[in-house]
Amino acid sequence: MAYRVAKLGRLRFFTLTASLVLALALLALASLSVGSSMIPVAEVLSCLSGGGCGDTTRLILSLRATRTAVAVLAGGMLAVAGALMQGVSRNPLADPFILGSSSTALAALSAAALLDIGVLAHRHLSITIAFAGAMLGYFLATSISMVAGGAGLSLILSGVAVSALFSGVSHVLLYLLQDRLRTPYVYLLMGSTSGVLERDILYLAVPLALSPAALLALGIPKALNAYLFGDLYAAQLGYRVRLVTTLSAFVACLLTGASVAVVGIVGFVGLAAPHVSRMLSGTSDYRVTLPLSALAGSSLTVFSDTVARAITLLSARGEMPLGVVTSIVGAPFLAYLIVRSGRG
């Protein structure tokens, strides 16, 4: 029985991974074809495969591909960060935004930009600052919750407090900065891929590629599985609980910081993607849910980015922030999965 269940679980994992990769590829194709000048999917394909491709189309595609790639990467990063934070807090409500890290990352970035606007132009600087801000936010939330006794919901509530405070702070700072920014300041508060440059892909790809390597080398997925059943349970399996949670939070904050520095705060992906992966796979095993979350987060973000572009196109009122669309698009799907898994 153990064999059968384990084999079936693994088969399900590989099937789901393959289908999500396929879905992501299709969504990315759609994302390349939608925009102010619509390019038929057939033409996108022929351009990508090196076949016949007009110069204008090639130019538009290369610009659009940057946006698509950034959406794929940022979505995956937020999803992994969310899954890690849900593990660290043992709470299904946690994500980078709710625990306050996104807001403190943006607040740190805005404060730095207020001192020297050049910070925003240097991605390595802005990513470092946003990462430091995210770590600070995490430690602030955990310290408040520890002072409060550390029980139950206290981490989430302290996170909400930190998040609310620093959302406000970053709003004020960005408001003060707005005439010196290239893009409307709302974009940073609600996320947008409209201002990204080609080199941003690298700045996102490096942390995203490093994180699975780090997580694997440290054995984090298994450690988080054990940690889910209590501090003592993990300790009797030989894990050092403090180390496991701090390292996981470190990786989560790095991913959050990098994504905030490049696309601003995109909400909901970090919360929803881990749940989507759990409901699809039927387990919370982090070895399964971390990769599936990344794929689900990427798909959700690319789809939302495409929808945002389509809305911009139809309304002709300027760019729609990405974070707004991820919620509108993702929430009904999450609700559907909740109902379905509740019945199953």
Partner 1 sequence: MRHDRSTAPPAEGDAGGAPGAEPEKRVAVRLDGVVYSYGSIKAVDGVTLEIWSGKVMCLVGPNGSGKTTLLKLVASLVRPLRGVVYVNGKDARLYRPGEIARAFSFSEPHLPRTLPMRAIDFVLTSRYPFQRTLQYFESEEDLRVVESVAEELGIAHLLERRLDQLSSGELQRVVIAAALAKRPRVLLLDEPSAFLDVRNRFEVMEIVRRYARERNAAVVVALHDLFTASLYCDSVALMSGGRIAALGPPADVFSSEVAKRVYGVGIETVRVDGTTVIAVPLPPQPGGGEDGSRNGRERPDESPRVFNDASA
Instruction: CB nearer to partner 1: give 91 or 183.
Output: 91
Return all residues near 79 (Cβ < 8 A) that are at least 6 apart: 269, 270, 273, 274, 277, 293, 294, 296, 297, 298, 300
Judged by the rule CB under 8 A, the positions of this chain that interact with partner 1 are: 1-3, 5-6, 9-10, 86, 90-92, 216-219, 221-223, 225-226, 228-230, 232-233, 235-240, 243-244, 278, 282-285, 287, 341
- Please give the backbone phi and psi of residue 35, each rounded to the nearest 5 degrees, phi first: 165, -170
Instruction: CB nearer to partner 1: give 9 or 184.
Output: 9
Q: Which amino acid, 122?
A: H
Instruction: CB nearer to partner 1: give 100 or 274.
Output: 274
Burial class of 95 by CB neighbour count within 10 A (0 to 12, 13 to 18, 19+): buried
Closest distance between partner 1 and the C-beta of residue 245, in Å? 12
Instruction: CB nearer to partner 1: give 59 or 243.
Output: 243
* Inter-residue contact 297 to 311 (CB < 8 Å): no
Torsion of CA 5, 296, 168, 115, to 10 degrees: 120
Greatest alpha-carbon span in the chain: 65
Instruction: CB nearer to partner 1: give 76 or 274.
Output: 274
Closest distance between partner 1 and the C-beta of residue 52, in Å? 43
Closest distance between partner 1 and the C-beta of residue 236, in Å? 4
Closest distance between partner 1 and the C-beta of residue 14, in Å? 11
Closest distance between partner 1 and the C-beta of residue 205, in Å? 23
| CA atoms of 255 and 241, how far apart (whole Å) | 21
